[in-house]
Amino acid sequence: MMQSVLSTMVKAAAVLAVAGMLQPVSAESANPAKKWTIGMSQCNLGEPWRVQMNADVKKAAEAHPELHVIFKDAQNDTLKQRAHVEEFVAANVDLIIISPKEAQPLTPPVVAAMHAGIPVIVLDRRVVGDKYTCFIGADNKKIGQAAGRWIVQKLGGKGTIVELKGLMTSTPGQDRNSGFREGIKGSDLKVIFDVDMKWLEPNARKEMESALSRFSDISLVYAHNDPGAHGAWLAAKAAGREKNILFVGIDALPQEGQAYVKQGILTASFEYPTGGREAIENGLKILNGEKIEKEIVLPSRVFTAETVDKGGEWLK
Amino acid sequence: MKSWFRHPFARAMAALALVLLLGFIFNADGAFFKWGTHSDMYRAISVYGILACGMTMVIIIGGIDLGVGSILGLSAVLFSLLAIRQGWPPWMAIPATLMAGAVCGLAAGGLIARFRVQPFIATLAMMVFARGLAKWISGGQKISTVIQKANGDFMNVPVPAVFDQLGAKILHGNLAVVTVIFLISIMVCWIILTKLRWGRFMYAIGGNEEAARLSGIPVWAMKLLAYGLSGLFCAVAGICQAAQELQGDPEAGVSYELTAIAIVVIGGTSLAGGRGGIGLTLLGALTIGYLEKILSINAVGEAARLMLTGVIIVGAVLFQRMRK
Amino acid sequence: MPCLEANSNSIPPAAEMPLVEMSGIGKTFAGVRVLEDVRFELSPGEVHVLAGENGAGKSTLMKILCGVYPDYEGEIRLAGRPVRFKSPHDAFRHGIAVIHQEIALIPDLSVVDNIFLGREPVRRGGWLDRSGQRTKAREILDQLGLDLDERQPAGDFSVAIRQMIGIAKALTFAAEVIIMDEPTATLNGPEAERLFTLIARLKAQGRGIIYISHKMEEIYRLGDRATVLRDGRFINTARLPDLPEEEFIRWLVGRKLDQQFPPRRASPGATRLEVTGFPLPNPAGSRNNVGAGVTFRVAAGEILGFAGLQGSGNSELFHGLFGACGDEVGDSVMLDGRPFRSVSPAYSLRHGVALLTNDRKGNGLVPALSTARNITLAALKKFSPRGWLRPKSEQEAAATQRDALNIRVASLDQEVGELSGGNQQKVVLAKWLETAPKVLLLDEPTRGVDIGAKHEIYELMNRLTATGISILLITSEMPELLALADRILVMHRGRIVAEFDRTVATPEKIAHAAMGE
């Protein structure tokens, strides 16, 4: 029986592999009606947030039958991503959307694409210089700040905070930290414990356990992402203290942060928008010859128990 | 007492004592002296420890298993898919997941035993393959109780009871269920390695494979057994991980193989095979666990933590060799 | 010129300035006194045999001389000057070289590279002086009478040649003192002859050679003087030509051995093993049918000796019969009248056939396991009904074997890797005896074993055959073969070319047959 399961699995894998190889060709030939081809270069599909970004791009593009999007995943490899962009240029796509892994090494291929007359939308992370058509991204620092201010208000300006940082060697981690610290400045909020949890839920749980054993009084946990906040909640729950602590996270993906808010696990989750929908909308404008702004900072929403079912509340 | 056991065990104890001493000194305002701190650490190290159980047997037989982290991730995803999405009862979901883990281990073991692929290569391939499989069956998303409906909206289903049961703490919140599972895993390995013929065969194969073969020992079957059991323990660890996180994360277990190997080696089991034991692995797990815990309760920064961990691992290993 | 004459014919006089002078040497390991007031002296142009049972302290003494143990008591003088070596490298620089039993050459490097490994001569700017190396290597290889391509990887050559490459390596560094630790243990007749010729040349060049060996034949043939150690103490030094062998053995074992070989009383019974056209596996392990295969029969209680040069195929025959190479070979073997299939070691052991290989470190012992566990390893099923181990019955069985074979261990829990060569060999024997074999294939059972232990192994073989066990024996020591075997088969290139009864066999006849004449 085990053998048959295994052989079925192998067969399925083989069929899938073949199908995967054939896909771009058949899609192209089967849809002559598609007017425009967009190349979407994603740096890493290992993170749910980036999976969401691709999903947003796909969903937005499906609303426009004239668009055909080719997705490439660089699997966290700068050189691979560079090759992907060059392939797009060679294939002469009509527009490139790139969410680059790193700024410096991915600037030359983007510049080359621009020289070849292909407009480029840069998503989330930047490239060096101004040789791109449009940058769309959110501002981690502003989101951190907003979270800080919101927390000050929520706690009435007083309380003890545990900050579970993403990774202080990464820009989002630094910005979510410094923004938050600016946001709570002037209040009586004290950060009593702050450590890196490397964006990972199991780590967040371990660190929170340490915080719990050290401090008997914790008002709120501010985690740099929702899984981090969720891990902290699990730790508090195991210690029977989850009712006395508030949990705030960032990202607000529908299946993570928003769902946790709905379940009453998180008090609030701050959206870090993927910009997938906006990329397609602005891309369409570019392709239609409309003028658009070069820098688009995405607005962000906060989801709380009251607002989560209404699609959150826009931050100012 | 067995002579191979006596000295390494004492040395592993000494290394652990040294780390504990650090805890006494840097006790984070007394947090180190609370039972909860220790119980938390036992919970946190349990998943790694379960992986290290299988790893111990594989290393004793003269191999290495780099696939454990990925098989853990695959098992966590599979278990969540079956228990949450498919609604399978635990008595079906757990054996199915265990079987899948064992099959992964057996596949790597088969490559090693029958086709003489180097353990490093075969399990490296399994590490990549199992991770890919985990991502494929999960669609790259965490498998949680939040489910996307056909229209794109999300709905929330209740957490299956088995997750809460396995993720809970018993004895008035003093002992995690996963820690109990870890201790049972240690017991199982201890029985296999010291009480059964199989264990003796594993030591013999790791100590001198050709001599073992000429002594009529079924070398390839034993290798299959060791890697299969390692895969099984990975599945146990994966189920524990999913139960604790209330979800199956396809990224779960990334780089766990390194921690598992570190636990085994710090305990004093020889990477060359043929020497070591499961008791040492238990001590190794405690040493690594306490080290992490002490760094954590003192809120040491990530960079310093990595450097300190490196230094202390080397220190512990050197300390164990000091006797000579 | 009388002076010159005297020097060239006679044994070098000890009166001239010795190359090496060790006096009052003592050494303690973890509270155990292993050497006590030992003295040793080596003259230029001398082969000085260092003899003693395993564990007598020979190796320790030599390790002190070549810098492995820097802390010892006593004094070493080199050409009259007191020295104290801090490391093997230090000793090496002072002209002391060791040729080990297992020579440490890197198989994938060329002969030249191996010779100069670790001390590559360089030109200005740190570039390797390749052509200079080759010239120098060639020169030395010629000196040794070694005609080989120095650019070939060292691993391509036989053990004997590799050993000589090791010697060449020592000579390039102008070694004055060469320590040879059982250099012929892995060599066959002609190979050993080459080594002996080489030793004669080194002597003629005025170098001193310390020669460690258990083989009486070569000790008397090569040695000028012999020093005997026993239990870490100096027993005596004597000129070998003046020392009767009986006396020498008495110094070695501390008592009088009646005879080196116990008397053999054979009483062969019914046919035990019948081999017809058995195809030999090649050394790589796969089967290739060389010629028509091998045909012979052994009776119960008989010792059947196998002679032949290295590569004659007798080791391969043993491996093949034991099933160590896998693959089934049809119905060419009958054991007690029933077909025996040489498919796997497990099958052979189940049916009462056991193989003691000629490489106990490589595939005989599991060094990290205890003595008791090595003894029970091949018969573990007996001690683990339904898979559960019975440590108590294991210990009892191991203790029985220990007493029967006189294995000297501090405890049965001692790791077998820590035992001396002779005791290790007895442990391997005990392991096979524990499987209650009907046929014992013994490939060099006394290799690297001291005289006392050898004697015990001979006696054991007699006892075993008296109980009806058949023994197939390979040994490269001619006296052993002649004294033990009831019949002798000679193999050459994978075929049996001659058969002698013990009553008619002579070394000459066997040697001729072995060379295919």
Which chain B positions have a beta carbon within 8 Å of A207's beta carbon? 296
pLDDT at C151 over 90: no
Contacts of C435 (CB under 8 A, 6+ apart): C349, C352, C354, C378, C379
Q: Which residues of B touch C (CB under 8 A)?
A: 1-4, 194-201, 203-204, 206-208, 210-218, 270, 274-275
Q: Which of C237, C336, C233, C325 is nearest to C279 (CA)?
A: C325
Measure in Å the smallest separation between the Cα of B219 and chain C Cα atoms.
Answer: 11
Chosen for mutation from B61, B215, B217 (greatest number of chain C CBs closer than 10 Å) is B215
Q: Using the beta-carbon criterion (under 8 Å), do C365 and B1 form an inter-chain contact? A: no
Q: Using the beta-carbon criterion (under 8 Å), do B245 and A48 form an inter-chain contact? A: no
Give the nearest partner residue to A254 out of B31, B154, B245, using CB atoms: B154
Measure in Å the smallest separation between the Cα of C377 and chain B Cα atoms.
Answer: 7
Length of chain C: 517
Q: Kindly state whether A195 is in contact with chain B, defined as any CB-CB distance less than 8 angstroms.
A: yes
Once rounded to an integer, what is the mean pLDDT over residues C394-402?
A: 94
Q: Using the beta-carbon criterion (under 8 Å), do B301 and A258 form an inter-chain contact? A: no
Residue C205 pLDDT class (50, 70, 90 cuts):
confident
Q: C375: nearest CA in chain B? A: B215
**B191's tokens:** 């029985």
Q: B47: nearest CA in chain A? A: A202
C2-253 is classed in which CATH architecture? Answer: 3-Layer(aba) Sandwich (3.40)
Q: Using the beta-carbon criterion (under 8 Å), do A168 and B103 form an inter-chain contact? A: no
Once rounded to an integer, what is the mean pLDDT over residues A229-243?
A: 93
Give the pLDDT score at B29.
Answer: 86
pLDDT at A30 over 90: no
Residue C286 pLDDT class (50, 70, 90 cuts):
very low
Which chain B positions have a beta carbon within 8 Å of A2's beta carbon? 99, 103
Contacts of C57 (CB under 8 A, 6+ apart): C27, C34, C35, C38, C229, C231, C232, C233
Measure in Å the smallest separation between the Cα of A193 and chain B Cα atoms.
Answer: 7
Asked, for residue B33, whether it belongs to a domain, the answer is: yes
Give the nearest partner residue to C413 out of B2, B206, B211, using CB atoms: B2
Residue C7 pLDDT class (50, 70, 90 cuts):
very low
Residues of chain C with CATH 3.40.50.300: 2-253, 257-352+437-517
Which chain A positions have a beta carbon within 8 Å of B43's beta carbon? 209, 238
Give the pLDDT score at A35.
Answer: 84
Asked, for residue B151, whether it belongs to a domain, the answer is: yes
pLDDT at B106 over 90: yes
Q: Using the beta-carbon criterion (under 8 Å), do B34 and A213 form an inter-chain contact? A: yes
Q: Kindly state whether A206 is in contact with chain B, defined as any CB-CB distance less than 8 angstroms.
A: yes
Residue B143 neighbours by CB distance under 10 Å: 26
Q: Please give the Cα distance from B52 to A312 (Å, whole number).
A: 45
Measure in Å the smallest separation between the Cα of A127 and chain B Cα atoms.
Answer: 27
Give the pLDDT score at C327.
Answer: 65
- How confident is the model over C471-507, as pLDDT tens digits? 999 988 888 898 999 999 999 878 899 999 988 988 8
Which chain B positions have a beta carbon within 8 Å of C362's beta carbon? 208, 210-211
Do B100 and B266 touch, CB atoms closer than 8 A?
no
Asked, for residue B204, whether it belongs to a domain, the answer is: yes
Once rounded to an integer, what is the mean pLDDT over residues C167-193?
A: 79
Q: Please give the Cα distance from B20 to B294 (Å, whole number).
A: 9
Asked, for residue B298, whether it belongs to a domain, the answer is: yes
A positions 144-173 inside 8 Å of B (CB): 167-169
pLDDT at C433 over 80: yes
pLDDT at C225 over 90: yes
Partner chains of A (3+ C-beta pairs under 8 Å): B
Q: Please give the Cα distance from C302 to C296 (Å, whole number).
A: 13
- How confident is the model over C234-283, as pLDDT tens digits? 999 999 989 888 888 888 877 665 567 888 877 788 999 999 888 887 65
H and E: helices and strands count for chain B: 13, 4
Fold of C257-352+437-517: Rossmann fold (3.40.50)
Comparing A87 with C191, which gets the higher pLDDT? A87
Q: Using the beta-carbon criterion (under 8 Å), do C415 and B204 form an inter-chain contact? A: no
Q: Kindly state whether A55 is in contact with chain B, defined as any CB-CB distance less than 8 angstroms.
A: no
Which chain C positions have a beta carbon within 8 Å of B201's beta carbon? 380
Once rounded to an integer, what is the mean pLDDT over residues C424-450?
A: 91
Strand partners, C73: C26
Residue C30 pLDDT class (50, 70, 90 cuts):
low
Which chain C positions have a beta carbon within 8 Å of B215's beta carbon? 345, 349, 377-378, 431
- How confident is the model over B179-190, as pLDDT tens digits? 999 999 999 999
Q: Please give the Cα distance from A126 to A100 (Å, whole number).
A: 7
Give the pLDDT score at C119.
Answer: 66
Secondary-structure percent of chain B, ordered helix, strand, coil, rounded to 5: 75, 5, 25
Asked, for residue B3, whether it belongs to a domain, the answer is: no
Rounded to the nearest 5 degrees, what angle is found at the Cα of C88, between the Cα atoms of C82 and C91?
30
Mean pLDDT taken over chain C: 84
Partner chains of C (3+ C-beta pairs under 8 Å): B
Asked, for residue B260, whether it belongs to a domain, the answer is: yes
Q: Using the beta-carbon criterion (under 8 Å), do B302 and A198 form an inter-chain contact? A: yes
Once rounded to an integer, what is the mean pLDDT over residues C70-74?
A: 89
Residue C4 pLDDT class (50, 70, 90 cuts):
very low
Q: Kindly state whether C373 is in contact with chain B, defined as any CB-CB distance less than 8 angstroms.
A: yes
Q: B60: nearest CA in chain C? A: C368
Q: B275: nearest CA in chain C? A: C368
Domains of chain A are 33-138+274-299 (3.40.50.2300), 140-272 (3.40.50.2300)
Give the nearest partner residue to C378 out of B194, B216, B270, using CB atoms: B216
Q: Which of B279, B60, B269 is nearest to B187 (CA)?
A: B279
Q: Which region among B202-211, B310-319, C5-14, C446-455 has the lowest average model confidence (pLDDT)?
A: C5-14
- How confident is the model over A124-161, as pLDDT tens digits? 988 888 899 999 999 999 999 999 999 999 999 999 99
Give the pLDDT score at C120.
Answer: 63
Provide ipTM, 2 decimals: 0.88
Highest mean pLDDT pick, A232-241, B48-57, C207-216? B48-57
pLDDT at B177 over 80: yes
Which chain C positions have a beta carbon within 8 Å of B210's beta carbon? 362-363
Q: Which of C329, C364, C323 is nearest to C344 (CA)?
A: C323
Q: How many CB pairs under 8 A join B and C?
A: 91
Comparing C43 with B11, which gets the higher pLDDT? C43
Query: Which H or E run includes A173?
Result: helix A171-184
**Surface-to-core class of residue A287, CB atoms within 10 Å of its CB (0-12 exposed, 13-18 middle, 19+ buried):** middle
Residue C331 pLDDT class (50, 70, 90 cuts):
low
Q: Using the beta-carbon criterion (under 8 Å), do B216 and C348 form an inter-chain contact? A: yes
Q: Kindly state whether A254 is in contact with chain B, defined as any CB-CB distance less than 8 angstroms.
A: yes
Chains C and A touch (3+ CB pairs under 8 A): no
Measure in Å the smallest separation between the Cα of C418 and chain B Cα atoms.
Answer: 12
Give the nearest partner residue to B195 out of C370, C389, C413, using CB atoms: C389
Comparing C330 with C233, which gets the higher pLDDT? C233
Q: Using the beta-carbon criterion (under 8 Å), do A212 and B36 form an inter-chain contact? A: yes
Which chain A positions have a beta carbon within 8 Å of B29's beta carbon? 214
Give the pLDDT score at C352.
Answer: 94
Residue C291 pLDDT class (50, 70, 90 cuts):
low
What SS3 class is residue C495? strand
Which chain C positions have a beta carbon within 8 Å of B59's beta carbon? none
pLDDT at C97 over 90: no
Once rounded to an integer, what is the mean pLDDT over residues A213-240?
A: 94
pLDDT at A181 over 80: yes
Q: Using the beta-carbon criterion (under 8 Å), do C363 and B196 form an inter-chain contact? A: no
Q: Kindly state whether A311 is in contact with chain B, defined as any CB-CB distance less than 8 angstroms.
A: no
Range of the domain at B148: 8-321
Residue B2 pLDDT class (50, 70, 90 cuts):
very low
Domain tally for chain B? Answer: 1
Asked, for residue B1, whether it belongs to a domain, the answer is: no
Once rounded to an integer, what is the mean pLDDT over residues C280-294?
A: 59
Q: Kindly state whether C414 is in contact with chain B, defined as any CB-CB distance less than 8 angstroms.
A: yes
pLDDT at C418 over 70: yes
Residue C8 pLDDT class (50, 70, 90 cuts):
very low
Give the pLDDT score at C328.
Answer: 57
- How confident is the model over A239-267, as pLDDT tens digits? 889 999 999 999 999 888 999 999 999 99
What is the DSSP annotation of C130-143? HHHHHHHHHHHHHH
Q: Using the beta-carbon criterion (under 8 Å), do C366 and B197 form an inter-chain contact? A: no
Give the pLDDT score at B212.
Answer: 95
Give the nearest partner residue to C366 out of B197, B198, B204, using CB atoms: B204
Output the domain CATH number for residue B209.
1.10.3470
pLDDT at C198 over 70: yes
Which chain C positions have a beta carbon within 8 Å of B116's beta carbon? none
pLDDT at C11 over 90: no
Do A70 and A38 touch, CB atoms closer than 8 A?
yes
Asked, for residue B311, whether it belongs to a domain, the answer is: yes
Which residue type sits at B174?
Answer: N
Give the pLDDT score at B291.
Answer: 92
pLDDT at B178 over 90: yes
CA dihedral C163, C165, C171, C176 (to 10 degrees): 0
Contacts of A259 (CB under 8 A, 6+ apart): B144, B145, B146, B154, B156
Q: Using the beta-carbon criterion (under 8 Å), do A168 and B302 form an inter-chain contact? A: yes
Q: Please give the Cα distance from C438 to C335 (Å, whole number).
A: 9
Q: Which of C187, C258, C236, C255 is nearest to C49 (CA)?
A: C236
Q: Kindly state whether A7 is in contact with chain B, defined as any CB-CB distance less than 8 angstroms.
A: no
Measure in Å the smallest separation between the Cα of A314 and chain B Cα atoms.
Answer: 20
Once rounded to an integer, what is the mean pLDDT over residues C110-132?
A: 73
Q: Kindly state whether C197 is in contact with chain B, defined as any CB-CB distance less than 8 angstroms.
A: no
Give the pLDDT score at C513.
Answer: 87
Distances (CA, A) of A28 to A25, A38, A68, B315, C288: 5, 12, 8, 60, 58
Residue A25 pLDDT class (50, 70, 90 cuts):
very low
Once rounded to an integer, what is the mean pLDDT over residues C437-461?
A: 89
- How confident is the model over B152-167, as pLDDT tens digits? 778 888 889 999 899 8
Give the pLDDT score at C124.
Answer: 62
